[in-house]
Amino acid sequence: MTLSKRAQATGEKAKGALLWEIMPNIWDPKSNPDGYVSLGVAENSLMHDELSKHIHDYFALSHAAFTYGDGMTGSKRVRY
């Protein structure tokens, strides 16, 4: 079974999605200062320290609470 030319073209575009090219080269001030700052994901890693400090003043959370650590619905600690 073969795919139509249209379906093949769509598949080629998906394989080259820019997000997957960026993810291995994410910016970090110490280990990767020339990396990308990705605005294509909901997780805001650049603000982890500031968010953690602010929230710890009122509600103690670890950096992991700001990630997808428990799955795509976010941290269980924050949700419940």
pLDDT tens-digit series, residues 61-79: 778 777 887 777 777 777 7
CA-closest candidate to residue 38, choices 52, 51, 28, 53: 28
Question: Are both 50 and 69 inside the same structural domain?
Answer: yes
Higher pLDDT, 7 or 33: 33
Question: Are both 37 and 6 inside the same structural domain?
Answer: yes
State residue 14's pLDDT score.
61
At which residue do the structure tokens 């950096």 appear? 63
Torsions phi, psi for 32 (to 5 deg): -150, 65
Question: Are both 8 and 21 inside the same structural domain?
Answer: yes
Question: Are both 24 and 60 inside the same structural domain?
Answer: no
Question: Are both 34 and 20 inside the same structural domain?
Answer: yes
Domain that holds residue 28: 1-41
Does residue 52 sit in helix, strand or coil? helix
**Total domains, the chain:** 2
Question: Are both 64 and 37 inside the same structural domain?
Answer: no
pTM, full prediction: 0.38
Q: What is the pLDDT of residues 8-62, one digit of tens each?
A: 777 666 655 777 778 889 888 899 999 988 776 777 778 889 888 887 888 767 7
Question: Are both 62 and 52 inside the same structural domain?
Answer: yes
